[in-house]
Amino acid sequence: MTLPDRAQIVVIGGGIIGCSTAYHLARDHKADVVLIEQGKLTSGSTWHAAGLVGQLRSSASITKVLKYSVDLYKRLDAETGLETGWKMTGCLRLATNEDRWTEFKRLATTAGSFGMDMHLLSPAEVKAMWPLMNVDDLVGASWLPTDGQASPSDITQSLAKGARMHGARIHENVRVTGFDMHEGHIVAVKTDRGDIACDKVVNCGGQWARQLGAMAGINVPLQPVKHQYIITDRIEGLASDAPTIRDPDRRTYFKEEVGGLVMGGYEPNPQAWTTGDVPSDWEFRLFDDDFDHFEQHMTQAMERIPALGQVGVKQMINGPESFTPDGNFILGAAPECDNMYVGAGFNAFGIASGGGAGWVLAEWVMAGEAPLDLWVVDIRRFAGMHSDRQWVCDRTLEAYGKHYTIGFPHEEYTSGRPRIVSPLYERLKSHRAVFGSKLGWERPNWFAPEGVEPRDIPAMGRQNWFDAVGLEHRHVREHVGIFDQSSFAKYEMTGADALAALNRICANRIDRPVGRLTYTQLLNSRGGIEADLTVARLGEERFYIVTGTGFRTHDLAWIREHLPEGGDVTLTDITETFGTLSLMGPDARHVLEKVTDAGVGNVAFPFGHAREIAIAGHTVRALRVTYVGELGWELHVPIAATGEVFDALMAAGAPFDIRPVGYRALESLRLEKGYRAWGSDITPNDTPFEAGLGWAVKLKSNIDFIGARALRAIAGKPLTKRLAAFVIDDPDAVLVGRETILRNGQPVGYLTSGGYGYTVGKSIGYGYVRDEDGVSDDFLARGDYELVIALAKFPARIHLAPPVDPDNARVKA
């Protein structure tokens, strides 16, 4: 079949993700789609995938994506006439210790929050469902009846047929050799059978996605890892509808297949394949069997299912799977090229994700923005450091090894550290800092008092740093603390059209006098919050933008993509140009006025203003703003001078007992004062009105901005969800997020974030209360509330204002 010379969209890769994306582009959007595959459909990793289909994740949006996959697999055969091999067998997850059991109780609560039906079973109930299983060591199991299994090749072929039925053109044996680029934009896909001019490209190249992206200057940080499983001969007494099993404490999984079992696992010592390019001829090839490496799984599996010791192994599959540095897959628009989209790195759950990932990726390609809050899988969560292939390999192997470990709250990765350190790293270590890592930056999470071991000890309940963080928290409320926030992402925007560009991109007013500071959201076309950040006007045509560490790539790309074409605007990432010291607490002014001759009184330097001041002989950008709810300044210091300015502040603050403070105290401080966190409390799924941030929207002005139309359409109408705070009196309640909110005994939402407020002396959570008939103040006030924590119900009180007064530390709880 002759290759077309033009298409609206070219999808590269004929695995399950590529075929699903082509199917949805053609079916839902009537797009002119060409899919090209270098070999045959399903080649790569799809054909040898194990085919387990689970649905529950910690993100509501990703759970929705996986649930969509199941719904699609159930009905696809009726549309295309090709079977998918779908069997809704349900899934048992086994627990052999109390920490795992607590994790399952939290997962069951999350499932309920997301509208899924998860049950906890006793060992006897597990034995009744799976008679061949040894349950002697079980505490219990979770049971999700709507999980199942499918045939990866059959699903892919059915999706491909469906794509063709809706007009997509599929060409096999076509190898991409490069891209024709014009000003960073792909204008044609070059292949060994001719060029295809196109408007957009979707890179679904699986283990080849990284090198395909590199041809267009795009980084796709994934790592092929050898993953093994076996297929056994028939096992007497094994039911054809036996549930799939995940046995995480033994690091293994099982599913029934033709009377036998598929069994594999996730070992703590995984084997990477190559950090270089994957050979183009590795389409239907496998590695040699490695029973020595697999023995650790076999030993555990036979203890769980003794019958495995009496049956033969029909086949071992040892093939490469694409894994990522954080265990989440990769979707979305590449930041380096505005018309290449990526769907890759599925961490061995590409079959579970395939249907839903193709659906949302097709929507993303057509609309230019994600249809849901997909931040946890967005390619823009990565940064330049992820182009280091060895670092990506090391971190990916750690993530693979954690695939079945207990998910302790607040647990940090350890590989590849330290990667990026601020000039204060050694100074803070001398203060007994315990560091965490965010987008490569080492940041102090907490400081260990003398006599306390300076390391995190993971736990499901109160952790070893709980009391130490409380001391830091109270110190900021009562005295003064200093935070090293040098990892903040920082940009400068200049030019005659900079103000107009920012007024269009930002929901809040930016056209304020020089020296003013604006907190603002950036909205999508639905009015959802794509980012929140601070903009300081340094001059008539000069602006300083500060945003969160992890959002550096995302926010920069979002702003850049929405700048006016041909406008006089320059946007520059200057993150490493400035360190950031946040001086916070009632005594902050007393400290600051000792190190500068500039006026820092309330009249000379009001809240929401920016000034350049001199400290220790260096010009510092001082921003009067707070995320802890106390008097304070962010001091943006030339990076090389950060140590000198820190030392000056510490010396001047000694009479006020100044102390360095970590990010865990920052989190508890912001919870008490009601500051929202992007990615949890506010997301692309939430509007400013729903989040209680309507005051930061310039809707009454005549300035048009992105998202204004959507907000005007709902302005003045009843809201169907609203963010509220919840406080629990019970001292044993530990909130980590995703706990279910009950109003008058009925579920109405779940917590988006949770923690402990040391000033309040109680656990605090935030979450959206939902009701299709409208969520008014009266509706919220009339309810009796409980929070479900690991399946236990705790009475809670709702707060529409912060539990601690924003203007002082007066407790309102």
In the prediction, which pLDDT does 806 show? 54
Is the domain of 369 the same as that of 302? no
Looking at residue 543, its pLDDT comes to 98
User: Please, what is the end-to-end C-alpha distance for the chain in angstroms?
Assistant: 71
Q: Is the pLDDT of residue 163 over 60?
A: yes
* Closest listed residue to residue 168, CA positions, set 67, 343, 346, 37: 37
- Domain membership of residue 284 (yes or no) is yes
> What is the per-residue pLDDT for 810?
45
CATH number of the domain where residue 591 is located: 3.30.1360.120
- Judge whether residue 812 has pLDDT over 50: no
Torsion angle, alpha carbons of 805, 809, 810, 812, to 10: 50
State the DSSP code for 182: E
Is the confidence at residue 400, as pLDDT, over 90? yes
Rounded distance between C-alpha atoms, residue 797 and residue 116, angstroms: 26
Q: Is residue 617 part of a domain?
A: yes
SS3 of residue 394 by DSSP: helix
Average the pLDDT over 164-187 and give the result.
96
- pLDDT score of 807: 53
Residue 336, domain CATH: 3.50.50.60
Q: Tens digits of per-residue pLDDT, 752-809?
A: 999 999 999 999 999 999 999 999 999 999 999 999 999 999 999 999 999 986 554 4
The predicted model gives 365-381 an average pLDDT of: 97
Give residue 542's pLDDT.
98
Of 323, 349, 365, the one marking the end of a domain is 323
Residue type, 117: D
Q: Which two tokens stand for residue 376?
A: 């946890």
Q: List the structure tokens of 419.
A: 């990667």
811: confidence class by pLDDT, cuts 50, 70, 90? very low
The Cα–Cα gap between 197 and 180 comes to 9
Instruction: Using the predicted structure, report yes or no on whether residue 693 has a pLDDT greater than 50.
Output: yes
DSSP state, 494? E
Query: For residue range 206-232, what is the model confidence (pLDDT) as tens digits?
Result: 999 999 999 999 999 999 999 999 999
Compute the average pLDDT of residues 20-36.
98
The closest alpha carbon to 427, from 577, 575, 585, 579, belongs to 579
**212 and 358 both lie in a single domain:** yes
Higher pLDDT: 115 or 294? It is 294
Count of domains for the chain = 3
CA-based nearest residue to 447, from 428, 460, 461: 428
From residue 440, alpha-carbon distances to 340, 394, 443, 488, 553 in Å are 25, 13, 9, 12, 13
Percent of the chain residues past pLDDT 90, beyond the cut: 89
Q: Is residue 306 part of a domain?
A: yes
Read off the tokens for 650. 């510490």
Q: Is the pLDDT of residue 423 over 50?
A: yes
> Does 771 fall in a domain?
no
Give me the CATH number covering residue 142: 3.30.9.10
What local confidence, expressed as pLDDT, does residue 809 receive? 46
CA angle at 619 for the pair 615 and 623, rounded to the nearest 5°: 85
Same domain, 230 and 308: yes
Place of tokens 């033709």: 258
Asked which of 37-51, 137-151, 613-627 is least confident by mean pLDDT, the reply is 37-51
Q: What is the pLDDT of residues 694-732, one digit of tens each?
A: 999 999 888 999 999 999 999 999 999 999 999 999 988
Domain carrying residue 118: 91-146+225-323
Residue whose C-alpha is closest to residue 204's, from 29, 345, 347: 345
* Angle at which helices 350-367 and 16-29 cross, to 10°: 40
Query: pLDDT tens across 228-272, in order?
Result: 999 999 999 999 999 999 999 999 999 998 899 999 999 999 999
Mean pLDDT within 291-310: 96
Place of tokens 């820190």: 646
- What is the Rg, in whole angstroms, of the alpha carbon atoms belonging to the chain? 27
pLDDT value at residue 813 = 35
Overall average pLDDT of the 603-607 stretch? 97
pLDDT in tens, 325-347: 999 999 999 999 989 999 999 98
Of the candidates 94, 116, 63, 66, the residue with the CA atom closest to the CA atom of residue 740: 116
At 117, is the pLDDT very low, low, confident or very high (cuts 50, 70, 90)? confident
Residue 181 in any domain: the answer is: yes
Residue 103 has pLDDT above 80, yes or no: yes
Residue 235: strand, helix, or coil:
coil
Across all residues in the chain, what is the average pLDDT?
95
For the segment 646-658, the average pLDDT, to the nearest whole number, is 98
Last residue of a domain, one of 289, 323, 357: 323
Q: In 3D, which of 758, 757, 741 has the Cα closest to residue 795?
A: 741
Phi-psi region of 390 (alpha: psi -120 to 50; beta: other; left: phi over 0): alpha
Is there a contact between 201 and 210 (Cβ–Cβ < 8 Å)?
A: no
Against a cut of 0.85, is the pTM above it? yes
